[in-house]
Amino acid sequence: MGTTTICQRRLRRSMWMGWVLLVTLPVFQAAVYSQDKAAGKPSADDHLSAYFASQTRLLSKSVGATTGTLAQWKIKQSELRGQLLDMLGLQPLPPKTDLKVVFTGETEHDEFIVKNVHFQSRPGLYVTGNLYVPKKVDKRLPAILYVCGHGMVKKNGVSYGNKVHYHHHGSWFARNGYVCLTIDTLQLGEIEGIHHGTYREKMWWWLNRGYTPAGVEAWNCVRAIDLLQSLPEVDPDRIGVTGRSGGGAYSWWIAAIDERVQCAVPVAGITDLQNHVVDGCVEGHCDCMFMVNTYQWDYPTVAALVAPRPLLISNTDNDGIFPLDGVYRTYEKVKKIYRLYGAADRVALHITAGPHKDTQELRVHAFRWFNHFLKQDDSLIQNPAEKYFQPEQLKVFTSLPSDQLNTRIHETFVAAKEPSLPADPAQWKAMQSHWRKTLSEKSFRGWPSQDAALEIEVDSRQDLSSLGSNVGLSVLKFESQQHVPLTLRILHKGKLKDTNRVVIYLMDDQSKATLDWLSEPTGSPPAGILDRLNSGQETAFESVAAYLEKTGQTIAFFSPRGTGENHWKQEAKYLTQTQRRFYLLGQTADAMRVYDIVRAVEAIKQSSASDLVTMELNAQGIQAGMAVYAAIMDSTVSKLNLLDPPVSHRSGPILLNVRKIFDMPQAISLAGTTATVSIRTDSPSGFDYVTQLQRTLEAGSKVRFQKRKK
């Protein structure tokens, strides 16, 4: 994993693990409200920090809610394992196809043989590894699956795999009576795939797909155990797993989802959301460390799924990306589950001095743990783990296979749903119901379970001379969620409470002039306001007052969180890591912006004494996509006016798992069942599903297309 961190440290507590160890503990004090001295109020970024802290506190209670009786836990455990498989992109499990195991060479040591091997965990997804087998095998032996961390070994542009970096572990196990299979990871294997989709490559569509490379690593581990169990030297009932850093994380995935693992020692591979989201440790990790957190877990829940099998949680005391306080909190929570089984002696925490590094002290305790539980051997460790081989001796391929999918497995590992057209109105109605339900469960699960009171503050200014007589500006301030203050700016004829026809214009970061004028409405409004009002209109309006008079509409301007007047710091790394914090919490920034739009609609409803006749959303680009989902989730929205909405979620909006359900054309069709949708675009062919649905079912949805005005 990465070596940098923003985590800071302080003394917190001592720990007992056969002895008492005093440690210096890391903690980062999250900024809740760093006051802007000039303005005397917190910035949007201050609010964001406070929001992340409060949301993290909510999710940190998740493991405690699962405790109770052992019988209750066992029922819950089965459900949780299914959720984890889903969050790894493994629900349903892929078919176990032929592994196509190929041994490509071997190297001898005095005490063991190393066999270079590759297999296909699914067709075209190659896993390279080294199989360490003792020379003397007179009975079936315990086996270890060793999963590697991010240890690059590359010469002259050729990758030898991170199995080479960690080969001393496999050698030790073989010298001490184990069969050990050490496998490469997707990113740093001999065939180099991608772990950094959101971290570096801006592949935010991974979240739409419900894809994470953690799922690939977990599946490769499942198939590696299949291989081990097929070997005549291996006792299939005595299999352990270990690895450090990234390998520590993969040890968690496989131990949690596959009960064939009888003993686990994840090293420096887990901490909690407090460390990741609030303290900033997410910034030191690529995407293979995280599931797509659809069900909003904290990481102790993953650890709890290993119970009651022997589990040693191993870490150093000065690890910047797996800080000790979070590791200890994780251990304390999982230990409660082991106590339900009466198996508290089967879970332990091992802490040694040192940074994020593969130290000998970490190895020795891991070896003793496996010896105790897989061999019933408590003798002292006499020999260290040593490196014996050169990278060339452990290389599997002489040339890379042409049919490999490793470098693009993110395109196919989790299938995108391409719904077919309904055959009749009854099927169409059933599809609508299923889609809405699945969206709530898989894409918008991060919304609050109960809406808090909006507590709207209204500031009205009547008779704006620059706009004409009887034109008023009302400013509505409300909290969409705690720590998410937002503002609606509304231009209306007469009084706001008499409003019954409203159009909300969603404002983006290109709307600064309009938003600045609405904040201080003196002089003539900028051309941007009229441009938005005239967009898509058959009649051009020469003034705001004329628009209000002729259409009978009230116009509102709104920026969801992180956009427009609420924009966060516009620095690329900061925005990337902000997005990643959201998905660690089981949310996305775009999904919560959809929630903000729904809350803005509610704020207008509460501020108007009249029954609303129409509630229109007017948006363009990615925000047009958000408006579609606001209409899906709130039937109060009766009209959508969309300019160049995205043809596919590949471009946005980013919503967890949405491509497991459908794509933008289906979303627009669904919105069109309750709202009239007008789309202006140069590419109507991208929305063929919409038009085909309308031809198939004459009343399928209320969507019409217009040519985009130049």
Cβ atoms of 709 and 680 within 8 Å: the answer is yes
Helix (H) or strand (E) holding 491: strand 484-493
Return d(Cα 566, Cα 41) in angstroms, integer. 13
Is residue 355 domain-resident? yes
Question: Do 216 and 313 fall into the same domain?
Answer: yes
User: Parallel, antiparallel, or unpaired: how do β-strands 234-244 and 141-147 relate?
Assistant: parallel
- Residue 65 CB partners (closer than 8 Å, separation 6+): none
Confidence tier at 39 by pLDDT (50, 70, 90): low
Return d(Cα 671, Cα 664) in angstroms, integer. 10
* 3-state class (DSSP) for residue 250: helix
Question: Do 357 and 482 fall into the same domain?
Answer: no
Q: What is the arithmetic mean of pLDDT over 434-451?
A: 97
Question: Do 353 and 494 fall into the same domain?
Answer: no
Return d(Cα 476, Cα 486) in angstroms, integer. 8
pLDDT of 690 higher than 50: yes
Confidence tier at 464 by pLDDT (50, 70, 90): confident
Q: What is the arithmetic mean of pLDDT over 219-236?
A: 98
Q: What is the CATH number of the domain that holds 115?
A: 3.40.50.1820
Confidence tier at 684 by pLDDT (50, 70, 90): confident
The 8-class DSSP code of residue 613 comes to S
Q: What are the pLDDT digits (tens) for 479-534?
A: 999 999 999 999 998 888 888 899 999 998 788 888 888 888 877 788 888 888 88
- Alpha carbon 225 to chain centroid, angstroms: 27
Cis peptide bond prior to 646, omega within 30° of 0? no
Q: What is the pLDDT of residue 4?
A: 34
- Into how many domains does the chain fold? 2
Q: What is the arithmetic mean of pLDDT over 67-74?
A: 88
Q: What is the arithmetic mean of pLDDT over 65-81?
A: 87
Is residue 620 domain-resident? yes
Task: Write the CA distances from 435 to 580, 645, 664, integer angstroms.
Answer: 26, 20, 12
Return d(Cα 443, Cα 649) in angstroms, integer. 13
Question: Do 503 and 370 fall into the same domain?
Answer: no
Cβ atoms of 646 and 208 within 8 Å: the answer is no
* 3-state class (DSSP) for residue 427: helix
Quick one: CA torsion of 598, 604, 610, 616, rounded to 10 degrees?
-60
pLDDT, averaged across the chain: 90
Q: What is the pLDDT of residue 26?
A: 32
Q: Which domain holds residue 518?
A: 430-705
Q: What is the pLDDT of residue 427?
A: 95
Return d(Cα 476, Cα 474) in angstroms, integer. 6
Question: Do 486 and 338 fall into the same domain?
Answer: no
Question: Do 192 and 302 fall into the same domain?
Answer: yes
Q: What are the pLDDT digits (tens) for 312-359?
A: 999 999 999 999 999 999 999 999 999 999 999 999 999 999 999 999
Q: What is the arithmetic mean of pLDDT over 561-583?
A: 96
Question: Do 512 and 565 fall into the same domain?
Answer: yes
Question: Do 360 and 442 fall into the same domain?
Answer: no
Written in H, E and C, the secondary structure of 373-416 is: HHHCCCCCCCCCCCCCCCHHHHCCCCCCCCCCCHHHHHHCCCCC
Tokens of 312: 């040693």
Question: Do 101 and 134 fall into the same domain?
Answer: yes
Q: What are the pLDDT digits (tens) for 407-440?
A: 999 999 999 999 999 999 999 999 999 999 999 9
pLDDT of 710 higher than 60: no
Confidence tier at 709 by pLDDT (50, 70, 90): low
Q: What are the pLDDT digits (tens) for 359-405?
A: 999 999 999 999 999 999 999 998 899 999 999 999 999 999 999 99
Q: What is the pLDDT of residue 513?
A: 85
Question: Do 406 and 469 fall into the same domain?
Answer: no
